[in-house]
Copies of this chain bind each other. A is one copy, B any other.
Amino acid sequence: MGDLELRDDLLPEDEGEASLHETLVSRMRQLMIEGTLENGQRIPEAELCRMFGVSRTPLREALKVLAVQGFVQLRPNRGAIVAPIDPEQIRPIFELKGALERLIGLTAAERVTQEDLDAIDALHHELGATLEQGQMDDYTRLNYAFHKGLAQISGNALLCETYEGLQQRIWRYRFVVNEDFTRVADSFAEHEQIMIALRARTPLDLAARLEAHNMRTCEAMLRAIAQIS
């Protein structure tokens, strides 16, 4: 007992300390967002247990959570399947997201600070760079970050959370729209207008542009899906 041990856990760090539950939820969600697990595909618990090296108890808890978030569908006594989003469900999602985009626009325009502007502007320029270089995967990722950043400027955590949930549901279809290069160019042009409205801090204008951007993305996605099938 002679040695005093310096404890460095005084600062809990709060990050990097993701619990197993949270890890499982986000990793499984990632599998579905990335498309590793296909829509409608059955998810045998045992296989996922081997995959993640955990027992069924925490895995099932994660499945229950993902069911609430709409990523998986639980069928009593018959296991879970990756929630099959059919095209008919895409429009309602975008419709709801449109309402949130509008609120984001209204509030972000009023609450945006100079630091916010600088940060989102940096993202915007990164987006432009990836577009010029044709790095579509990077573009898609940055696009996600751009809209998430806008949501955060709203200052409403619940709004952010809800918004990101919708984004993630839609995210599973992004590859479909990415193929549509003309849409990407149009999309970036719309971002340009969004940035202008944000810098000008004009709530109604920003809201309208975000809503329009959302609607156009929705239509492009529906067109792309229609082409495939």
Contacts and interface: CB of A to CB of B under 8 A. Distances in A.
A57 interface: yes
A68 B21 CA distance: 12
Contacts of A65: 64-65, 68
Given A68-B65, A68-B69, A162-B162, A103 B95 contact: yes
A157 interface: yes
**Interface on chain A toward B: helix, strand, loop, or mixed SS?**
helix
Contacts of A89: 158
A19 B99 contact: no
A91 to B, nearest CB: 9
A209 interface: no
Interface string A96-110: 101110110001000
A87 interface: no
A219 interface: no
B103 A99 contact: yes
A159 B64 contact: no
Contacts of A99: 99-100, 102-103, 159
B159 A76 contact: no
Copies in the complex: 2
Contact residues on A (Cβ < 8 Å of other chain), bracket: 20 to 34
A21 B96 contact: no
Nearest to A17: B76
A87 to B, nearest CB: 14
Nearest to A19: B76
Interface string A158-195: 11001000000000000000000000000000000000
Interface string A58-80: 00110011001110000010000
Contacts of A113: none
A76 to B, nearest CB: 5
Most buried by B among A65, A76, A96: A96
A200 B137 CA distance: 48
A92 interface: yes
Given A96-B156, A99-B100, 7 more contacts: A19-B76, A60-B61, A70-B158, A92-B156, A95-B159, A99-B103, A102-B102
4 nearest CB pairs, A to B? A99-B103, A92-B156, A99-B99, A61-B64
